[in-house]
């Protein structure tokens, strides 16, 4: 019986994931957590074989949480299940230590398939993302230095992406469980890192990048 920890700040999403996973006779959800603090406590208490983690969490982001969990338990298998486009986040999740990435829109059986692949020592991403990862390796990754993926922190990238999707400061703050002041601080840092002078430039750059990632 493999023990699974689910980390997601939406109770209904946790419940749905747990139902899909526990429909398998050899998988058991031993704990659920709504944020990083709860997740790290559950990791210590329940010693799961695997963690299923969302990216957007209150406080510490899911990607930072993955790094912390793997520092505490290097053998832990991690699968990211997120609403974020995998074209924007799958590579970053793999670099953080996750072994797979599935979007929340996928059916329960796809998520279970991903869980099994990761538990068996494999990596689960879509065919498109797998090709991008391999092409990145083959190209020597020269292009990534020009991408916000490399320049921004995990949380800054989330703010940047949501800006590119047209969300305002208040909406981003609500979505990421942050204060408006904190989001404004992230935006200021993003502008500085990307050498942008105004909020309009930031918006234009974010929109172009999001659309380019989705189509390219």
Summarize pLDDT for 161-207 with one digit per residue, the tens. Answer: 899 988 999 999 988 888 999 999 999 999 988 888 888 888 888 88
What sections of the chain are H helices per DSSP? 11-22, 36-46, 62-72, 86-96, 108-119, 127-138, 148-151, 154-164, 169-176, 180-193, 199-215
- Number of Cβ within 10 Å of residue 82's Cβ equals 21
Both structure tokens of 21: 């996973």
Please say whether the structural domain 143-215 has been given the CATH code 1.10.1760.20: no
Both structure tokens of 87: 């074209």
* CATH topology agreement for domains 2-135 and 143-215: no
* Residue listed under structure tokens 């469980």: 177
Question: Can you tell me the distance from the alpha carbon of 97 to that of 100, in angstroms, rounded to the nearest whole number?
Answer: 9
All structural domains of the chain with their residue ranges: 2-135, 143-215
Q: Give residue-wise pLDDT tens across range 113-141.
A: 999 999 999 999 887 777 777 766 666 55
Question: Can you tell me the distance from the alpha carbon of 35 to that of 146, in angstroms, rounded to the nearest whole number?
Answer: 32
More confident residue, 142 or 1: 1
* Residue listed under structure tokens 């703010």: 159
Q: What is the pLDDT of residue 209?
A: 82
Q: Please tell me the pTM assigned to this model.
A: 0.75
Span 2-135: which CATH code? 3.40.50.2300
Q: Return the biggest CA–CA distance within the chain.
A: 56
Q: What is the pLDDT of residue 149?
A: 62
């Amino acid at each position: 019986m493999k023990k699974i920890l689910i980390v997601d700040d939406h109770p209904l999403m946790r419940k749905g994931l747990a139902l899909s996973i526990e429909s398998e006779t050899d998988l058991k959800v031993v704990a659920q957590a709504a944020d990083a603090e709860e997740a790290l406590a559950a990791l210590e208490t329940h010693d799961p074989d695997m963690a299923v983690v969302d990216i957007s969490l209150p406080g510490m982001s899911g990607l930072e949480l993955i790094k912390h969990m793997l520092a505490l338990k290097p053998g832990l298998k991690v699968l990211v299940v997120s609403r974020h486009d995998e074209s924007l986040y799958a590579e970053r999740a793999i670099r953080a230590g996750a072994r797979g990435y599935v979007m929340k829109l996928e059916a329960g059986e796809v998520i279970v398939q991903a869980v099994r692949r990761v538990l068996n020592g494999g990596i689960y991403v879509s065919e498109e993302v797998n090709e991008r990862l391999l092409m990145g390796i083959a190209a020597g990754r020269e292009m990534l230095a020009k991408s916000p993926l490399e320049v921004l922190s995990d949380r800054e990238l989330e703010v940047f992406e949501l800006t590119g999707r047209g969300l305002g400061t208040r909406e981003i703050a609500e979505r990421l469980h942050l204060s408006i002041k904190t989001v404004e601080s992230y935006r200021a840092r993003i502008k500085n890192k990307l050498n942008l002078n105004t909020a309009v430039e930031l918006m234009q750059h974010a929109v172009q990048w999001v659309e380019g990632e989705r189509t390219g």
